[in-house]
Amino acid sequence: MQLSVLVISYNTKKITLQALRSIVTSLKNSDLTYEILVLDNHSQDGSVQAIKKLKIKTLRLFESLENLGFGKGNNYLAKKAHGQHLLLLNSDIEVIDKAIDKLFSFYIKQRRFAFVGGKLLNTDLSPQASCGPLYSPLVVLAALFCRGDYWGLTRYSPSAVRPVGWVSGACILTAKADYEKVNGFDENIFMYMEEIDLFKRAQKIGLKVGYFPNAKFIHHGFASSKGKSRPVINVFKGIVYYYRQHYGWFSRLFIWLLLKTKALLGYTLGVVTNNHYLKQTYYEAYKITGREI
């Protein structure tokens, strides 16, 4: 079998069904031999029953008794996959036309990249910045204090094929053998930063990451993140863990100072403006950084 499409579902019944239908439609009349693997992370919204009702012959559904998170969930599905290649898609992805065939064809024909991401679009079809450089200390500085995303310093949406440090975990194509070489996602990262860590480890063993803009996917975005504060808190946790794993003491000290400063500024702004969300979020973020990284 050529391809296993991996999808993690968690309380996103409506968009998960939309994603699965778009995958099937995209691969209709395709020459690819494929399967679709779905792991439901203990959803409470009737997702499992709804997915079963689709009766997709190429789909295998797995049910977890707990929320395994993104990385651990994909690792589980990768072990169950029969395909020589893995396409990781978020449950809030909508495949446009023959995007999967285009991405796979590009991947097979080229030799530069072990991991490839397609072009992600917002719901209004505007480009979504979905790749960027690895999170060096200067990149983190730009992200936290210099509106790095806005200026294209920390993430971007190129119009041409190019090497990048990372691509969004919402759409990743790779060979199963290469996924196994890097031991998949680090399961200590529950959500956010897991793909940055994955590609950092890939880089260390000489595996490159590429971006292919001709395969387009709509990424509706953040559908299973409940509560506004959780993304901020999980990003702080992810950065702390990432630097503990991959950088020396000087870089860790620099990042610790950046995160502490960002948390203090966010909390202070919350106090001044009487914004409970800011106060609660950045108070917790400050505690996450501890006394050192």
> DSSP states of 150-175 as a string?
HHTSS-B--SS-EEESEE-TTEEEEE
Give a yes or no: residue 236 inside a domain. yes
Q: Of the residues 219, 241, 266, which one is the last residue of a structural domain? A: 219
Kindly state whether residues 26 and 101 are assigned to the same domain.
Answer: yes
Kindly state whether residues 9 and 147 are assigned to the same domain.
Answer: yes
The reported pLDDT for the residue numbered 291 is 79
Contact 42, 11 (CB under 8 A): no
The reported pLDDT for the residue numbered 248 is 97
Give a yes or no: residue 118 inside a domain. yes
Contact 174, 208 (CB under 8 A): no
Could you list the residue range(s) of the whole structural domain that residue 23 is in?
A: 3-219
Kindly state whether residues 101 and 242 are assigned to the same domain.
Answer: no
Six token digits for residue 228: 């506004």
Cα–Cα dist 159/190, whole Å: 31
The SS3 assignment for 129 reads coil
Give a yes or no: residue 224 inside a domain. no
Contact 94, 128 (CB under 8 A): no
Contact 60, 36 (CB under 8 A): yes
Kindly state whether residues 62 and 84 are assigned to the same domain.
Answer: yes
Give a yes or no: residue 197 inside a domain. yes
Give a yes or no: residue 53 inside a domain. yes
Q: Which CA distances in Å does 22 have to 97, 144, 219, 223?
A: 8, 36, 12, 17
The reported pLDDT for the residue numbered 293 is 80
Cα–Cα dist 196/185, whole Å: 10
Kindly state whether residues 264 and 282 are assigned to the same domain.
Answer: yes
Kindly state whether residues 61 and 122 are assigned to the same domain.
Answer: yes
Give a yes or no: residue 207 inside a domain. yes
Kindly state whether residues 159 and 255 are assigned to the same domain.
Answer: no
Number of domains within the chain: 2
Kindly state whether residues 104 and 247 are assigned to the same domain.
Answer: no
Give a yes or no: residue 50 inside a domain. yes
Kindly state whether residues 129 and 22 are assigned to the same domain.
Answer: yes
Q: Of the residues 174, 189, 219, which one is the last residue of a structural domain? A: 219
Alpha-helix residue ranges (DSSP H) falling in 6-152: 13-27, 47-54, 69-80, 99-109, 137-145, 148-151
Please identify every stretch of the chain with a pLDDT value under 70, giving residue numbers as ranges: 222-230
Pairing between β-strand 131-132 and β-strand 93-95 as defined by DSSP bridges: unpaired
Kindly state whether residues 237 and 113 are assigned to the same domain.
Answer: no
Cα–Cα dist 4/74, whole Å: 11
Q: Of the residues 219, 238, 264, which one is the last residue of a structural domain? A: 219
DSSP class per residue in 203-271: HHTT--EEEEEEEEEEE---TT--STHHHHHHHHHHHHHHHHHH--HHHHHHHHHHHHHHHHHHHHHHH
Give a yes or no: residue 182 inside a domain. yes
Kindly state whether residues 77 and 160 are assigned to the same domain.
Answer: yes
Helix (H) or strand (E) holding 112: none
The reported pLDDT for the residue numbered 229 is 57
Q: Specify the CATH number for the domain of residue 120.
A: 3.90.550.10
Kindly state whether residues 46 and 107 are assigned to the same domain.
Answer: yes
